[in-house]
């Protein structure tokens, strides 16, 4: 399965961090980050139907930037492209609230660990860990042992809106969710997906999937109240810069469990 990055692979896939869009690059090469522009997150979803204690809003200057997931009392998991240009002092987190601007628990960041494969994309590595400046009281989410075969049901969550193009709206306060599924890697070949480390993720809803600003947030498998994390939102799976027109690509967090364990321990 695979992952989602803020990079452009193959025919110009677009990263999904809020306010960051990569310029096109050669297959497997990082795109150049260009001018910030607000955009949407999950397209075609609806307000969260349950409490996700582990869900975090990664923020810069007090505004939502990317999603993140609490996987240990003192560590969150996000996308590398969300933090590769940041210092710990640039970042803050709100954890366990259905609204990114209030509630939950706030924390600072004391350390950033970006996967070493990220810069050279060998093969991918769009995954990062952030150490909190104190242990959070919210309940972490477990990382699954595997991301599942094509057809496996999943769910994505993030602070998303329903408009599908860059600049069409601001991220809403309320957390959004969308039912999705693992799909065949061949459906994401336009973004040069890497099977062992990425997940191609589709939705049965028309014009619905992850979008700009949803980067770093989780793809989940399981049942309400019993979720496990499988993926990390990375990039659009199509060269067309309109969200929901094709499956999205997620970093397969299950492929990086050894790195995650060694980093946080």
Active site residues: 81, 126, 215
Token reading at 122: 């060998």
Two structure tokens written together for 88 = 């710990």
Q: Which of 247, 138, 227 is nearest to 185 (CA)?
A: 247
CA distance 28 to 194: 10
3-state secondary structure the chain: CECCCCCCCCCCCCECCCCCEECCCCCCCCCCEECCCCCCCCECCEECCCCCCCEEEEEECCEEEEEEEEEECCEEEECHHHHCCCCHHHEEEEECCCECCCCCEEEEEEEEEECCCCCCCCCCCCCEEEEECCCCCCCCCEECCCCCCCCCEEEEEECCCCCCECCCCCCCCECEEEEEEECCHHHHHHHCCCCCCEEEEECCCCCCECCCCCCCCEEEEEECCEEEEEEEEEEECCCCCECCCCCEEEEEHHHHHHHHHHHHC
């Amino acid at each position: 399965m695979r992952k989602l990055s803020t990079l452009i692979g193959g025919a110009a896939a677009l990263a999904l961090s809020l306010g960051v869009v990569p310029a096109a690059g050669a297959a497997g090469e990082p795109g150049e980050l260009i001018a910030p522009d607000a955009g949407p997150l999950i397209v075609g979803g609806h307000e969260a139907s349950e409490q996700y204690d582990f869900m975090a809003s990664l923020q810069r200057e007090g505004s939502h930037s990317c999603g993140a997931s609490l996987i240990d009392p003192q560590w969150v998991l996000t996308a590398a492209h969300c933090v590769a240009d940041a210092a710990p002092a640039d970042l803050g987190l709100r954890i366990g609230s259905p609204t990114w601007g209030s509630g939950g628990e706030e924390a600072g960041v004391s350390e950033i660990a970006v996967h070493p494969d990220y810069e050279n994309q060998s093969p991918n590595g769009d995954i990062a860990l952030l150490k909190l400046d104190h242990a959070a009281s919210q309940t972490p989410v477990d990382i699954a042992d595997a991301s599942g075969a094509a057809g496996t049901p999943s769910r994505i969550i993030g602070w998303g809106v329903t408009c599908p193009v860059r600049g069409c709206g601001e991220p809403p306060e309320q957390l959004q969710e969308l039912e999705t599924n693992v799909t065949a890697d061949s459906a994401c070949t336009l973004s040069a997906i890497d099977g062992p480390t990425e997940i191609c993720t589709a939705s049965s809803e028309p014009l619905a999937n992850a979008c700009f600003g949803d980067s770093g947030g989780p793809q989940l498998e399981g049942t309400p109240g019993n979720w496990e994390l499988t993926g990390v939102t990375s990039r659009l799976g199509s060269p067309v810069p309109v969200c929901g027109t094709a499956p999205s690509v997620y970093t397969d967090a299950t492929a990086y469990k050894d790195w995650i364990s060694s980093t946080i321990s």
